[in-house]
Amino acid sequence: MEIQALKQRFAIIGVSPLLDRAIDVARQVAPTDITVFITGESGTGKEVFPQIIHQLSSRKHGPYIAVNCGAIPEGTIDSELFGHEKGSFTGAHESRKGYFEVVNGGTIFLDEVAELPLSTQVRLLRVLETGEFMKVGSSKVIKTNVRVVAATNVNVPEAINEGKFRQDLFYRLNTVPIFVPPLRDRKEDIFLLFRKFAADFAEKYRMPALQLDEEAVSILTNYRWNGNIRQLKNTAEQISIIEKEHFITAAILQKYLPHGVGSDLPVLYKTSKEKEDFSERDILYKVLFDMKKDINDLKKIVLDIVENGEISSAESNAKLIKKLYQDDDSFELNKIEIQQRMDENLNEPIQNSEVVEESLSLQKREIEMIRQALEKHKGKRKNAADELGISERTLYRKIKEYNIK
């Protein structure tokens, strides 16, 4: 079945290549019995992919069940998954089948699998490797033929390092990985989804559908949407219910977006083993942003001086300054060149040593940050550019300029 037909069948909205890639992997792996591990942030719509896999598999006529592992208390999770015998614990008044026995011949979707207790993870690993398990309070081995699709929104390598998730279970689950992209990486889909939600709520509440002006569409598209599709849907519902006017301007939309407009600048987060690295990066980002502000002020001052005739109006000077004034796509300014031009035209002497030292220091920091971003994202320039808060074109130019390997 083609990707577009799958989107229509499972009500998936979006044209993002990243989304299409995830759907294509699910389509290809569905006819097999391979275990699939789905990762992605909360609210990205991971739950639809196990349904695609099940419906396109030979098990489609068998049972399908989705289990939220994080919503089941730790004391009862083993009983829910594997069943229990009568009298095996307090309150076990009768024998009970678990999900792995009930879903025999079908598919089980273990959502938030990283929330499972370590003891349950051991039991799950045995089921995956041998297809065998034992009920709680029983010594009888039960065979089952169940396909497992698991999902999580946590950083699994970090959970493994912290001892919260078994490494052998991760490798067993991660036979075929599917990554569901966050909404901020699917900018072309944001307005499509909002328009669909607005139409649904208009029909549900019997009111006109929301319409956005161009500025509101731009804000909607560039907002970070940390809650992903779930947050976008809730926002559409809030506006549909509360606003009397259904033509939404940018000012109205901003009232429903936490932290104002929420520009898509890089968001820095800290893990237990990266606090020092990210702390230093915070400082470097602040230095760069402050320098950009200072440089913009400097450019305005220099341009004013040129326009007032206090500096030689040589065509080369004017071209240089106007070029620098219009180039806002980069954080750095060629201070040495500016300094040399100023020296040629001003009577007052200007010290170069401090400017050169500051420029070289900034250059070293910039090179180091670019290398760290490229290493972190395994050479993927788009992701590295997003991490640094610059365009991919600017990153490519800097790599070539600094001869970064």
Identify the pLDDT of residue 386: 81
Identify the pLDDT of residue 250: 95
Identify the pLDDT of residue 340: 52
User: Does residue 129 contact residue 172 with C-beta atoms inside 8 Å?
Assistant: yes
Identify the pLDDT of residue 369: 83
| Alpha-carbon distances, residue 261 vs 187, 222, 252, 325, 388 (angstroms) | 15, 8, 11, 26, 20
Whole-model pTM: value is 0.64
Give the chain's domains with CATH numbers.
3-181 (3.40.50.300), 184-254 (1.10.8.60), 275-402 (no CATH)
Identify the pLDDT of residue 65: 97
Identify the pLDDT of residue 24: 97
Sequential pLDDT tens for the chain (405 residues): 799 999 999 999 999 999 999 999 999 999 999 999 999 999 999 999 999 999 999 999 999 999 999 999 988 999 999 999 998 888 888 999 999 999 999 999 999 999 999 999 999 999 999 999 999 999 999 999 999 999 999 999 999 999 999 999 999 999 999 999 999 999 999 999 999 999 999 999 999 999 999 999 999 999 999 999 999 999 999 999 999 888 999 999 999 998 644 445 444 444 444 444 444 555 555 566 666 666 766 766 766 666 665 544 445 555 554 454 444 444 444 544 445 554 554 444 444 444 445 445 567 778 888 888 888 888 888 888 888 878 887 888 888 888 887
